Amino acid sequence: MKFIVSSTYLLKQLQVLGGVINSSNTLPILDNFLFELNQSELIISASDLETTMSSKLQVESDNSGSVAVPARLLLDTLKTFPEQPLTFVVEENNTIEISSNHGKYALAYADGAEFPKPVTLEDASATTLNGDILATAINKTIFAAGNDDLRPVMSGVFFQFSTEGLTFVATDAHKLVKYSRQDVQASEVTEFIMPKKPLNLLKGILAASVDDVIIEYNDSNAKFTFENVILICRLIDGKYPNYEAVIPKENPNKLVINRNQFLNSVRRVSIFSNKTTHQIRLKIAGAELNISAEDIDYSNKAEERLTCDYQGDDMQIGFNSRFLTEMLNNLTSDDVQLEMSLPNRAGILTPVDGLDEGEQVTMLVMPVMLNN
């Protein structure tokens, strides 16, 4: 088995696939990339049993065969090469030899047949989605997903497809993000929970402008196919909480403010907040927003005044500044609207401008109790 490939082209593909491989694997074979050669087509795969990703490369060859190559060693070697053709030859003595312009490097390989086979999706439904829309949906929601192993359903992003539109939701019980598109529809109603790891991998690749992504899914797995990449992952099992029930419907108090100004203020003031609660206080009266924080243990305190457009009763409400910062950071609009009803009910943050036709973002942040 022998093939010739460009070093930078190979490295670029392997770096993406490398994200699948865990730092410590129970099965040693999972520390390898699987190389499957069929004439001038080389398919490289990486897996952690939950997620399998493969990429198709064009190489110079007229052989076929399959070997598993140590991932870390190969990546570390390729990173040091300038752009040049590399020749890979599988030798008799269980090593694969790489020849560059200046030298030869031999790596021990494992039998390709030992590598776990990817799952095949039985009775799968499919939806085609623009790569940009999927990347935006992941970017807008993934930061709000939880990290709690005891509540696995909240550690992923909830995909809800219907003939009316698509909705993506993430929550960790303190904050919630709902991103929906009315301008894209699925052929049938379905819902599933995607784990974070494959979504982060997708987010990385889709940033490089991918036209269409075909999403196939059944009860247990999902498969994403685009350009020369296929990603298959196991879905999170369980029922997603009824997120609509926690979004307050009646919010008479509405605050509109410049996003950057608000974000910078919250960032500055939060430096003076208590290091465990990260609590900041918003006091709104008339057209003035007063943001303050205090750390009683160290006698640190800060206060800022901003002008805003506010309709509603004067009120005081406390938030965790980290959640508020994350949300404001994640929006791209010039102005944002914060809707509130009572100091103990969730606040709803939405962008005022900068959205595409049919695009909607709703962010919900739970308040914290203020100690007066």
Q: Is the same domain home to 213 and 302?
A: no
Is residue 332 in a domain?
yes
231 and 251 part of one domain: no
Any domain includes 371: no
> Could you tell me the residue range of the domain that residue 251 belongs to?
247-365
pLDDT in tens, 251-293: 999 999 999 999 999 999 999 999 999 999 999 999 999 999 9
pLDDT score for 313: 95
Assess if residue 120 is contained within a domain.
no
Q: Which of 147-151, 189-193, 340-344 has the lowest mean pLDDT?
A: 147-151
CA 114 to CA 92: how far, in whole Å? 18
Domain count, the chain: 3
303 shares a domain with 328: yes
Query: pLDDT by residue (tens digit) across 52-94?
Result: 999 999 999 999 999 999 999 999 999 999 999 999 999 989 9
What is the CATH classification number for the domain harbouring 257? 3.10.150.10
Asked whether residue 321 is assigned to any structural domain, the reply reads yes
pLDDT given at position 149 = 85
The set of residues, in sequence order, having a beta carbon less than 8 Å from that of 231 and lying 6+ positions away, is 51, 52, 53, 198, 201, 202, 223, 224, 225
In the predicted model, is pLDDT for residue 370 greater than 90?
no
Question: Residue 348: inside a domain, yes or no?
Answer: yes
Q: What is the per-residue pLDDT for 372?
A: 64
Percent of the chain with pLDDT over 70: 99
pLDDT (average), residues 112-129: 93
Residues 251, 187 share a domain:
no
Same domain, 293 and 361: yes
pLDDT over 70 at 49, yes or no? yes
State pLDDT tens for residues 1-13. 999 999 999 999 9
- Nearest Cα to 139, choosing from 326, 323, 280, 3? 326
**Of 114, 133, 152, which residue constitutes the final position of a domain?**
114
Residue 207 confidence (pLDDT) above 90: no
What secondary structure does DSSP assign to 283-307, as a single string? EEETTEEEEEEEEGGGTEEEEEEEE
Domain assignment present for 337: yes
Residues 161 and 261 both lie in one domain: no
Same domain (yes/no): 236, 310? no
208 pLDDT more than 90: no
In a domain, 119, yes or no: no
Residues 23-52 have a mean pLDDT of 96
94 and 34 in a common domain:
yes
Strand spans (E) along 200-357: 212-217, 221-226, 229-234, 253-258, 279-285, 288-295, 300-307, 309-311, 315-320, 335-340, 347-351
Statement to judge: residues 240 and 281 lie in one domain: no
Q: Among 79, 114, 149, where does a domain finish?
A: 114
Residue 210 has pLDDT above 80, yes or no: no
Backbone angles phi, psi at 137, to 5 degrees: -60, -40
Percent of the residues in the chain that have a pLDDT greater than 90, as a whole number: 92
139 is a domain residue: yes
Provide the mean pLDDT of the chain.
95
What average pLDDT does the segment 178-203 reach?
A: 94
Shared domain for 212 and 314, answered yes or no, is no
Which has the closest alpha carbon to 365: 313, 319, 329, 330?
A: 319
Which of these three, 203, 225, 244, is where a domain ends?
244
Give the angle 245-308-372 at the CA atoms, nearest 5°.
Answer: 65
118 neighbors 47 (Cβ within 8 angstroms): yes
Sheet with 279-285, edge to edge strand ranges: 300-307, 288-295, 279-285, 315-320, 367-368
Residues 215 and 131 in one domain: yes
Residue 211 has a pLDDT of: 84
What would the pLDDT profile of 222-241 be if each residue is shown by its tens digit?
999 999 999 999 999 999 99
Q: Give residue 371's pLDDT.
A: 74
Identify the CA nearest to 236 among candidates 272, 195, 204.
195
pLDDT of residue 303 exceeding 80, the answer is yes
DSSP state of 149: T
Asked if residue 351 and residue 251 are part of one domain, the reply reads yes
What pTM does this model have?
A: 0.92
